[in-house]
Copies of this chain bind each other. A is one copy, B any other.
Amino acid sequence: MIGVFDSGVGGMTVAKAIEDLCPQLPLLYFGDLARSPYGSKSTEVITACSCRNTDFLLSQGAKAVVIACNSAAAAAADTLRRQYAVPIIDVVSATVEKAASVSAAGRIGIIGTRATVRSKVYEERLQAIRPGCQIVSQACPLLVPLVEEDWLDKRETKMILRRYLHPLRERQIDALILGCTHYPLLGDLIQARVGRKVRLVDSSAEAARHLKEFLDKNPQIGSNMAEQGRQSRFFVSDSTGPVQRLADRIFSRPIHLEKVDV
């Protein structure tokens, strides 16, 4: 089984992208809703949560772990790789490669939580693989609560997006990293605001693509015959009404959320 964790349900956009790319692959998903959101918290707290989440997924039989949360990938991916023997796939590494390759002008925007933007992980990795590119980062802390409230079509959401995206438009970016797994749900609004010429790089889709490449190269991890036909399971450390609705919406089907104490 492949483990996938996020602070909440945002990472389900990654799980859904994996399901679309690798329909036979059963997943173990864990959403840490008892401690969500991560994006407003410190590196130290996010790292402690990420270790606990990984312990849980391994205890359930995960053979590889996908960090489906940009804030956790930015804060804790290096620590997890040092501390755990299993392969760790993270949403940030996958996304950086794509963004560097699709930007013609080398002017790349990044939107994410405070924790992701503060970490500068996207800037540093982009500069490493495409030296000299211009990068504009913008923390968008209100977008996660707006998505979690399902305010996707509200006027206020559009106004707040306009405010956040204005500095990126000013700098004439030609690629924009959606550096939070909640943001694909706002993809159309974001595309409309930045214009069709700006290429959106969806970190959820890129993480799924990266996992698939990894499994193609390491077939022993995904191909355990005993696991074929097993169903994906979705665990959460807390559960309330809007979360269920959002999960069902992301998968376009009813998702059974199993509450666990972690």
Contacts and interface: CB of A to CB of B under 8 A. Distances in A.
A34 to B, nearest CB: 5
A141 B151 CA distance: 11
A159 interface: yes
A86 to B, nearest CB: 26
Can you tell how many copies of this chain the complex includes? 2
Q: Which 4 A-B pairs have the closest CB atoms?
A: A145-B145, A45-B238, A34-B45, A42-B238
A42 B240 contact: yes
Q: How large is the interface on A (under 10, 10 to 19, 20 to 34, 35 or more residues)?
A: 20 to 34
Interface string A34-46: 1110001110110
A20 interface: no
Contact of A159 (B142, B155, B242): B155
9 contacts: A33-B41, A34-B45, A44-B238, A114-B241, A142-B145, A142-B146, A155-B159, A156-B160, A159-B159
A97 interface: no
Nearest to A49: B34
A151 B142 CA distance: 10
Contacts of A242: 40, 114
Contacts of A141: 145, 149
A165 to B, nearest CB: 14
Interface centre among A146, A163, A239, A240 (most CB of B within 10 A): A240
A156 to B, nearest CB: 5
B240 A114 contact: yes
Given A155-B159, A156-B163, A240 B149 contact: no
A123 interface: no
A240 to B, nearest CB: 6
B34 A41 contact: yes
Given A141-B149, A142-B149, A145-B145, A42 B239 contact: yes
Interface string A1-33: 000000000000000000000000000000001
Given A35-B34, A149-B142, A41 B240 contact: yes
Nearest to A41: B238
Given A34-B35, A36-B40, 6 more contacts: A40-B242, A114-B241, A142-B145, A142-B151, A145-B145, A156-B156
Interface string A156-167: 100110010000
